Structure 1
Amino acid sequence: MTNPETPTRTVAWTVADTAVGPLLLAATEKGLVHVVFRADEATTTAALERLASRLGATPEHLPGGPAGDRLREAVEQVEAYFGGTLRAFTLELDWSLSAGFHRTVLRELAGGVPFGSVVGYQDLATRVGEPGAARAVGVAMGSNPLPVVVPCHRVLESDGGIGGFGGGLRMLDIKRSLLAREGVLPEPLF
């Protein structure tokens, strides 16, 4: 039984419409914690259930208070990014969904690979002091809980190939679109 005097931890969430489809954005009191592509009703429900289980939190659709304020800022910045007026996110991030090597790699990516640039998996591994860990960097990219904001789309294969993207092959169109948006690739013809 829950103690009625113990506050329940909540996760504020909303879905933002973007050029790459609906994005689920979720924030805790610490900051943005999760971004999910193709956030239709089923995807959103499943993501919120996993998030609630992992964080021991109750999802609330865009509540008031500090978490809701952070979420509103996240929505504004995501809209500005897709609107072409934002090149660097300045959001507070909650790193609760990543740890260890993955967190180290994602933090380096977030702070060290600016808009319009790319880095190779091997180069990113070297930057975090693990030059033999290119494949582990790929795994970290695939587990990124904050895509777009922590720009895993900017990580390419050493030979210049596009590489993978979280969610598998069905998400490569999103990676291409994000890279085109940043001027790294030409805009798709169709």
Structure 2
Amino acid sequence: MRTEDLVAALAAQSRAVPRGAVPRRIALAIAASGALTLALVAAWLGLRPDLPQAVGGFPFWMKWGYTISLGAIAVAAVAHLARPEVTDARGLRWLAVPVGVLAVLAIVQLLATPPGDWTALWQGRSWRVCSMKVATLSLPILGGLMLAFRAFAPTRLRLTGAVAGLAAGACAATLYGLHCPEVSALFILVWYSLGILAAAAVGALIGPRLLRW
């Protein structure tokens, strides 16, 4: 068979991909693996006992506003990377917005706090374990995204893995907030972000191996 005939035969057998298939599959993967992570938070760490009261306070929504914003931007970028013709992670520059807003809040808190108490704002009560827990909780979500991407055709495998890890880390940090009692913007900016970046590093490491097609 000539090459032209083979290409024509393969093209004749192809089916059109339903509109919105990529975001739906990614959303399903995040929902399913996120439920597993939520169960892990509840069983391993436990939900904070004052959660009903905390939901009515600014620190809780400061954390969720930060992590949900990061997650939304990363999910949009990773959905873009699912297509084979894509060569860049469009939209990641918007990550500077939630990071910048939280940095401003951290500076405002520092200026309103005596210098002797700045270490408490930075370290809180859980700085030794926060980043590790966020990164660990991200693994089920990262695994779900990697499985979802087996049906796609990304070409920038390491970049796609890194952005998938970023999305997984942000989602995990959001769910970790149901346990974490920390209230400092500086704490969230440093330790939550480190956990999310660790998840992105894991994604970049395993992406070329698991996303190859």
TM-score (norm 2): 0.26
Determine which structure has the larger strand proportion and give its number. Answer: 1
The structure showing larger relative contact order (alpha-carbon pairs under 8 Å, at least 6 residues apart) is 2
TM-score (norm. length: structure 1): 0.28
Structure with greater helix percent: 2
Higher Cα radius of gyration? 2
